Amino acid sequence: MRILTAFIIVLSLSVPVFSESNAGAYVEKAHSPRVTALGYAFAGLADDGSSLFTNPAGLSLSSKLSFQITNYSAFETDYMNMMFNYRIKKLTIALGMIRAEVSEIEEVIEHSFFSGFYQKTGNVFDYQARAAYLGLAFKPIEKLSIGTAVKFIEEEFSSYGSGGGVGVDLGVLLDFKVQRFGVSLLNVAPTKIEWDSVTEEIPRIIKLGTSSHLFDNRLIISIEGEKKQGRDLTPHAGVEWWALRSAALRAGIDGGQLSLGTGLKLFRLKLNMSYTQLDEFIDDTIYKFEIGYDLIAQKKPQKKAEVKPVTDYYPYVDNTIPDVQKIYFPPHKFKTELKQITSISLAQKTMILKGSGENIETLFIDNVEVTIGPENNFSYLKTLSNEKSFVVKFRVIGKDGIKETITKFFIRK
């Protein structure tokens, strides 16, 4: 049991900026441990499911199919948020929810004789708040992502009534690999909570941020400026360092509030934690925990197949053997793929082509697929008419991915 006024409830739900007292404040800071540990500087970073609540354009950079759940307590209030996203080519769809609950709150009212003093009424009530999100992100070109999120907000005081409203968020993200820029507009249209007898408006928020990705993404520095309607500009900054490929350390500043955190990647499983020690005025510590999972493993980008231009080769002819002509070829220029074409025998208008190679995937001679034998040996027989050349086309798998080569050989009789 504890003594709280409705004002204090809303005030405490805006962790860690405890001075927030506007309607729907619980959705502003109830984010993932990673976002918290980065000082909420996420509008210009936005690359996972948390983007749904901060900059929906970042959903385009999240895993193809994943979910994440965050759970924590602050000021004896229980919070939980979860999200799920799925990417189909250039379009990403996301669903999310934020929930906050406070139970067994004792009602107090201002004393009738002593101004500034309060007294219990004996009534007890509970507070519940929920927000459901539907997000869409689209990537029209490689470096640009745009996104939007529609949120359905509901707050309820037992015995006092409930209220709800709808809000819309917009986001844009420019990704230049080593540098990223983002802007998000929260509550773009007038977002109001309609209570039984009172209407409250959720203030608009604009966030401008950028992030630097250094040392092959092992060090990320993110900064952001946040301007809430009717309030001063709030700075945010955070650093993420992947000390190991699967373990990260984080630190961030939200206004003047310091947060720390860590993250682990275990194959498809993701674990994140953040720690926030509030100032002396509010002696409390907030721990946030999150678990996430990629339902589809991330694929490493593959290099596009390299197509080599047609190259001409002129072999030499050996006429020392009666009725048989052998045409010998110098070693092929792509020695690592096709060692050499050993010989061509011309007798009674018949051509026998033999050779060997390394890592050959498919081989075509004059558009006819040739069977590759053990140790990549091949043999091809053809009846000649008046052909003066033939074309060899092969695809190989090397260190640089799949390579396709086309070579044209001329027959000199």
- Name the most confidently modeled range: 20-24, 248-252, 322-326, 402-406: 248-252
> What architecture is the 2-294 domain classified under in CATH?
Beta Barrel (2.40)
Alpha carbon 345 to chain centroid, angstroms: 58
Pick 136 or 64 by higher pLDDT.
136
Mean pLDDT of 188-205: 80
- Confidence category of residue 38, pLDDT binned at 50, 70, 90: very high
Lookup: tokens for 31? 């984010």
Q: Which of 227-231, 301-305, 320-324, 344-348 has the lowest mean pLDDT?
A: 320-324
Instruction: Provide the residue ranges of all domains of the chain, joining segments of one domain with +.
Output: 2-294, 306-410
Strands 306-307 and 247-254: unpaired
Mean pLDDT of 60-66: 91
What is the H or E stretch that residue 201 is in? Answer: strand 199-202
| Percentage helix, strand, coil for the chain under 3-state DSSP, each rounded to 5 | 5, 60, 35
Q: Which of 6-10, 234-238, 306-310, 336-340 has the lowest mean pLDDT?
A: 6-10
* 144-191: pLDDT as tens digits: 999 999 999 888 877 667 788 888 999 999 999 899 999 999 989 877
Mean pLDDT of 258-284: 85
How far is 374 from 378, CA to CA, in rounded Å?
Answer: 8
Q: Which CATH number is associated with domain 306-410?
A: 2.60.40
- pTM higher than 0.75: no
Mean of the per-residue pLDDT values of the chain: 77
Residue 2 has pLDDT above 50, yes or no: no
**Whether 106 contacts 120, CB under 8 Å:** yes
Residue 139 has pLDDT above 70, yes or no: yes
Using a 10 angstrom Cβ sphere, with 0-12 exposed, 13-18 middle and 19 or more buried, the burial of residue 87 is buried
